[in-house]
Structure 1
Amino acid sequence: MTTAAPRTTLTVADESGGIPAVRMESVTKVYRRGRGAPALDGVSLTVPRGVFLAIMGRSGSGKSTLLHCAAGLDAPTRGAVWIGDTEVGRLRESARTRVRRERVGFVFQAYNLIPSLTVEENITLPLRLAQTPGDPAWLTTVVDRVGLGEFLSRMPGDLSGGQQQRVAVARAVATRPDVIFADEPTGALDPETGDRILSLLGDLVRDLGQTVVMVTHDPAAAARADNVVVMAEGRIQQIVHNPDTVGLTAALGGRTR
């Protein structure tokens, strides 16, 4: 495991020279102007396509705010955010919603499936919302990869937690997004099932060329990523390459929450 000196800027090596999946430039987020420290303080982050990046930090470190700004869920107070070639930080909410719907995938701790829709309908929901038919061959590949072929007609309530999270992963990939944001995706799962979900996310990156940015408090989960950003006081404290669980726990001072 190797670490870089503390700084607020991370650029993950990109040999392709293409447009990054996500780019944040000097992003600051202040929730209560003039009161308290900013949730993000001048953070710059470049994430190329086809990487698995984890974001770690103690409670209040800014990791969730970073995800919200990077995903277009929230607008920065200062600075700029791009998803692909689109600057989303300055868009109106309706336009940001359209970008999120068409070009961003989300995986949450609580699955967030629609209980009245079948597995297949949940997976294809982003396509229907974006009013696009999607690519049938791609959807078949995704369903096969997550192992849901025999469950498509079932309802979410008939599935285990791990199966429901696989549905959520397939839904996130259905539109072939620029980036998938995973917010504590294994937090509600037992260790063995969580490990399978992490393996699945890694497979999406290595085999299907997707980009995954995962927020987690769990060093064991973060160690499955290619690189780890450790947040503290709204800044990137350090960057860990070739991460391992022991080193990440030490980077957080022995605390994970």
Structure 2
Amino acid sequence: MRSVYAGAPRPAKTADHTSAPAIVLDRVGKEYPGGVRALDEVSLAVERGTFLAVMGPSGSGKSTLMHCAAGLDSPTSGSIRIDGHEIAGLNETRRTELRRERIGFVFQAYNLIPSLTIEDNITLPLRLAGRTPDHDWLRTLVERVGLTERLTHRPAELSGGQQQRAAVVRALVAKPAVVFADEPTGALDLRSAHEVLDLLRDLVGELRQTVVMVTHDPAAAARAHRVLVMADGRVVEALEAPSAPQLADRLVALGEV
């Protein structure tokens, strides 16, 4: 299985302390009971400061790839390194600790707690980990996403796009090595979806944040710098700056309706 390299698209404005890739997968396999093989020796490296999208037909393995790469599930075989730390083989406690320290998540559902203010929602993961928020960093992020005047509001008082932007800040507030975004625009209207995708792409350029997004939407994937197309548990194609029509054609060719 050849390795897939997803390099940084351009020099970053923010200095980085290491040149090691943010994510490295080496011959990662995932097999479920009954012999169902969801991942088939996937190897790839994702450089820091990369906005990478992963897409493919239903059952292609893209969600399993994200779950294993993000430490939400354990691979059956192979090696996974996040920010230089091996996570394959770790028990659930250690995986949880690593996710808390190195990884941010943005999901289709905003997962905001209705009874808390937006600020409390954003800082909750840090407080649960016993860490004090970096208020300068928090202010920078909140200003960047345009939520400065919304911090004292409850989630129900915000639009869907604003709630997802709050979720993006929550993912970034701990300064993770990687942000994994799972269908982050799936519950948004077209305008809000464009705003969130613009935000994710800009964060890569401005902060050298590494973002890995799993999506079934060719238009969303086309906003990334690079796209991996999966089928049958393997990466079958790596495309640089593809258009939405190109990606739609690839899905049709792979049998996605």
TM-score strictly above 0.5: yes
Task: Show the 5 A alignment for 1:17-166.
Answer: 18-32=19-33, 35-166=34-165
Return 191-200 or 13-22, whichever deviates more: 13-22
The CA deviation at 1:8 is 5.1
Tell whether the 8 Å contact from 1:8 to 1:236 is kept in structure 2 after alignment.
no
Q: Distance in 2 between matches of 1:117 and 1:211?
A: 28
Structure 2 counterpart of 1:4: none
Give the aligned partner of residue 10 of structure 1: 4
Alpha-carbon distance between aligned partners in 1 of 2:195 and 2:183, rounded to the nearest angstrom: 14
State the identity %: 56
Give the SS at the match of 1:162.
helix
Q: Deviations over 1:236-257 (max 9, x none)?
A: 0100112111111111126656
The alignment of Structure 1 onto Structure 2 pairs a total of residues equal to 249
Letter in 1 for 2:88: G
Unaligned runs of 5+ in 2: none
| Kept after mapping to 1: 8 A contact 2:105/2:180 | yes
Following TM superposition, the consecutive aligned residue runs of length 4 or more in structure 1 with deviations greater than 6 angstroms are: none
1 CA distance for matches of 2:118 and 2:26?
38
Give the match for residue 242 of structure 2. Answer: 243
Q: For 1:180, give the aligned amino acid.
A: V
How well do the aligned residues superpose, as a CA RMSD in angstroms?
Answer: 1.5
Q: CA deviation at 1:200?
A: 0.5
What's the offset of the Cα at 1:126?
1.8
AA aligned opposite 1:107: V
Contact kept in structure 2, 1:101 and 1:129, CA below 8 Å: no
**C-alpha displacement at 1:37, in angstroms?**
3.6
**TM-score scaled to structure 2, two decimals?**
0.93
Q: Unmatched 5+ residue regions in structure 1? A: 1-6
Question: Could you list the per-position Cα deviations for residues 122-180 of structure 1 after superposition, in whole angstroms to 9, with x for gaps in the alignment?
Answer: 11112112211132221111001111100001111111111110110010000010000
2:7·2:48 contact (CA, 8 Å) conserved in 1?
no
TM-superposition CA deviations, 1:16-48 (whole Å, max 9, x none): 87111111110000111xx24410000011111
